[in-house]
A and B are shown apart, each in its own frame.
Chain A
Amino acid sequence: QVLLVESGGGVVQPGKSLRLSCAGSGFSFTTCGLHWVRQVPGKGLEWLAVTSYDGNYKDYADSVKGRFTISRNNANNTFYLDMNSLRAEDTAVYYCAKDAGIYSGLPHDSFDVWGQGTRVTVFS
């Protein structure tokens, strides 16, 4: 079974940091690009960040550029989102998602597997 499992969400004060993790299983993790997407409850989906299969390409939405960092550890089939300088408007459910393409230096495929989501609340 193809699975992505997030962890690391929680309640954090503004200005603080948090690291989200997403562990993959049931597929060839090292061949796939990976994304982070968030959703404010009751609102739409916002793409945040992407890393290529080998970690050499990374890109970010303007809303998080300079504050969030995506990374991956192919040795343990896990990728991460390090979130710094958190703001109240970062409060959302965060999803990891797998790019359907393989060995793509610049991921450009649909998101065929999603994690269950982890909730982040930035609250003072």
Chain B
Amino acid sequence: IVMTQSPATLSVSPGETATLSCRASQSFGNYLAWYQQKPGQVPRLLIYSAYTRATGVPARFSGSGSGTEFTLTISSLQSDDFAVYYCQHYTYQARWTFGQGTKVEMK
């Protein structure tokens, strides 16, 4: 399985919307998660089951998609949101594979 995230780097101004894409080489249902990792920190679960926010995740983070195409949207980007974001299909068939990450940086 290959998880392809695009773009590799996204330059966004605070207050704008960031749209991150994740494409799987085959469909593994909606067993899709998004994680946020800030520099020097541990990955944090944001979204699971493609669109369900994890506990404590702000509503400006939203997940969508199905099949092989998934999207993470961050609305009204805040300074705290600049980080690297990873998607993952968390199934045996997908070998719990992560995408290569999208870095969201300040424009």
Between-chain CB contacts (< 8 Å), 9 pairs: A44-B86, A106-B92, A108-B31, A109-B48, A110-B45, A110-B54, A111-B88, A112-B48, A114-B43
Residues facing B in A96-124 (CB within 8 A) are 100, 106, 108-112, 114-117
User: In whole Å, how far is A35's beta carbon from the nearest beta carbon of chain B?
Assistant: 7
- Give the size of the chain B interface in residues (CB under 8 angstroms): 23
In this complex, what residue of A is CB-closest to B32?
A: A110
Are B99 and A44 in contact, with the CB atoms below 8 A? yes
Residue A11 interfacial (CB < 8 Å):
no
Q: Are B45 and A116 in contact (CB under 8 A)?
A: no
Once bound together, how far apart are the Cα atoms of A59 and B43, in whole Å? 22
A45 within 8 A of B: yes
Chain A residue with Cβ nearest B46: A110
Residues of A within 8 A of B48 (CB): 100, 109-110, 112
Whether, in the assembled complex, A50 has its beta carbon less than 8 Å from a beta carbon of chain B, the answer is yes
Measured CB to CB, the nearest residue on chain A to B90 is: A110
- Tell me whether B88 and A95 are in contact (CB under 8 A): no
Q: Please report the C-alpha to C-alpha distance between residue A35 and residue B99 in the assembled complex, in whole angstroms.
A: 17
The answer to whether B88 touches A110, judged by C-beta atoms less than 8 angstroms apart, is: yes
User: In the complex, which of the residues B54, B86, B95 has the most CB atoms of chain A within 10 Å of its own CB atom?
Assistant: B95
